[in-house]
Chains A and B, each alone.
Chain A
Amino acid sequence: DVKVTQSSRYLVKRTGEKVFLECVQDMDHENMFWYRQDPGLGLRLIYFSYDVKMKEKGDIPEGYSVSREKKERFSLILESASTNQTSMYLCASSFRQRGYTFGSGTRLTVV
């Protein structure tokens, strides 16, 4: 089974802090994605990557950046955390056009 591992299950950060969310997958998938999930808004795509060092903006990239230096690792960076970035963050990976496998999520609270 593909495993997608997110480094933290729960995080509490202060407003203005730089926050790093890490995601690692172990099945050599080319595609990796970062979503956030909020009540009433569903899952929204922040950034995605089809290959190493490649990244593309999703639907809500503002306030975020990403890094993919190795195929298995895709990091989401909150440059200066704000309270409206309090959310559940989900990383996913996929092979070609097959369905995604998600990590277990990171629940981030910005105070």
Chain B
Amino acid sequence: RKEVEQDPGPFNVPEGATVAFNCTYSNSASQSFFWYRQDCRKEPKLLMSVYSSGNEDGRFTAQLNRASQYISLLIRDSKLSDSATYLCVVNRAAGNKLTFGGGTRVLVKP
């Protein structure tokens, strides 16, 4: 089983709609969680950290469910510029190493 698993998509989303997707992780000792965004042929960029209580940043909402070992990302009022691959990232129990999921591709269409 992979340490971090994501649905690769693509999720085809009409502009203005809401899209949500999850990521599961296998190491129950993981402490830190992040969502990164990666545009085609570019480096990943930190979108947001994920906190136990859930957190929101504008149109983006991240949730953590420790009992079921998954995190989620919800995008409201999708924009064309939200088209990207979203990487779920989890720290390993020891040290500062992060494990990346394979990414979920989101395509927002007019």
Q: Chain A residues in contact with chain B, CB under 8 A?
A: 31, 33, 35, 40-43, 45, 48, 50, 58, 90, 94, 96-97, 99-105
Contact = CB atoms under 8 A, between A and B. Distances in A.
Interface string B76-97: 0000000000010101000111
Contacts of B103: 42
Contacts, number: 46
Interface residues of B, number: 21
B89 to A, nearest CB: 7
Nearest to A45: B97
Nearest to A105: B43
Interface string B14-46: 000000000000000001101010000011111
Interface string B39-80: 000111110010000000000000000000000000000000
Given A42-B103, A99-B46, A102-B44, 5 more contacts: A43-B87, A48-B97, A90-B43, A96-B96, A99-B98
Most chain B CB neighbours (cut-off 10 Å) among A35, A40, A43, A50 = A43
